[in-house]
Structure 1
Amino acid sequence: MTTAAITRSSQIKWAVSGWAFFIAENAILSENRTWIIDQLGDDGYHTLYGAFSTAAMASVGFAYLKRLSRPPPSPAHLPALALSWGCLSSGLFLALQTAPSMQIPVSIQQKDGPTSNTPSWKLQVRCPFDFTHDRDNNETVKGIERISRHPGLWSLAFVALSNAALLPPLHPLQLWWMGPTAVAWVGGNHTDARYRRGMGGTLDPVYESQTSNIPFSAIVTGRQGNATDAMKKMLQEIKPLNALVSIGVATLFVLSRGRIKA
């Protein structure tokens, strides 16, 4: 092997091993949660879990900062920019939908004037976040839960994929950025498997039958009824201003990545 090939092989190992360690230790410790708690107690389990997770993420960070070379700067192709924008918009969309509903901080309201024929208007300042959004909605599945029952994991995965899309195929750094997708897929499925057995949480059978780990899988496979109707319901249930902010931020970020190369 040439020096370049050896270096690349070493970087690929660093790009993959940290995320693999994180997934493995998470699965092993959580799968053996009951036995470990019996041996060490609840505090001991969480201390052990935290120590291994910290070590795993430290190795992920070390690989990114010290072991992975950056590709030379080059203009991005339009398809790569479009894919990056789509992934980043999706990731920020999922993240911001878990936040309180955003609203325009001022509103204009009509009030009665001196006579019934002379209405007047007033400007009202309000909080930019609506903490009462959907508070009374008791549907089992709604909003981004229609997309995935693990929106937090997939939010991180999509944001990471937006960076991977702008890198050369199979570059070690691209593989590093794909790590969170493996975490979301494997980690989400393993969490579901544990919850079905009552380990660390519960998974309601009705809720599970209407949702999925993989984004949009439950919608396209008909678990929520007609796919078109399910999409319409989701669009009615989401926080619209939060969605617009996520798309706007993603657009500005991708446009800032440089000149488009056709």
Structure 2
Amino acid sequence: MKLNSHLELGKLNTLRADRLTPHGIFLMAEDGKDVLLPQAYVTDDMQEDSLIEVFLYTDSEDRLIATTLKPKAMLDQFALLEVVDTAKFGAFLDWGLPKDLLCPTKLQKNPFKVGEKHFIKVVYDERTHRLVASEKTTDFFKKNPKGLYPKQEVSIIPILKTPLGYKCIVADNYEGLIYDNEIFEKVIIGEERTGYIKTVRQDGNIDISLRPIGNKNNSSAADKVFALLEENGGIMPYNYKSDAELIKDVFGLSKKEFKRTLTKLQEDGKIEIKDTGIYKR
């Protein structure tokens, strides 16, 4: 581990154990600034001069403090968090630390309610010098995608269901959309997964597919269907006439793609299609 040159709020820091006290260990960065790691997080292997990785945030009295716990999201990261309490000035979210994360009222799209889950970004409030949550995530997206091209594999995080489909974060910096009529599998808000760029539009919007684009798509579907067939003993009660919704639930494919996949597998000599279902050869 490399010693941090200075203390970084909202991030993981590697700091040197400087002195042990009854209240905990004071940890020091290269620039001489120190911070307390409370006794509750101190373990027997933490001795003077040892390097310790901690997360830095402010306590209820706005004092900088260290913890060995890792929050569900750090500074500039996104997460789906649950509302645990509300007040006139904002709502408190469970982000995995003893002190809940505040989402000020002005940074909420609509008033939060206890028990709800909201997709937020952890940001630094210049006025209060605190870490806070913001639901207005579109304010943080870059508008001019660079280095992105059609068929490229990218990391995505679905963040919102809309009438058109799912808005998602693309490559940590951009906003994209997965169209509803192209989704044939379960999409979970807040779950990071792989996506594929269909189009990068002139206005900066990005269309995303959950499946590889082009010929790779067909082979992926065929592999998936054949793997499911093998998992079910080489027999499954589906064919060209099966209900579209049933196909979507079982295989995660549209009926058109399912029929095309069956034809490919049959031409490859891997399956036989009968009125009673699909049979592995």
Normalising by structure 2, report the TM-score. 0.21
Name which one, 1 or 2, has greater alpha-carbon Rg. Answer: 2
Normalising by structure 1, report the TM-score. 0.22
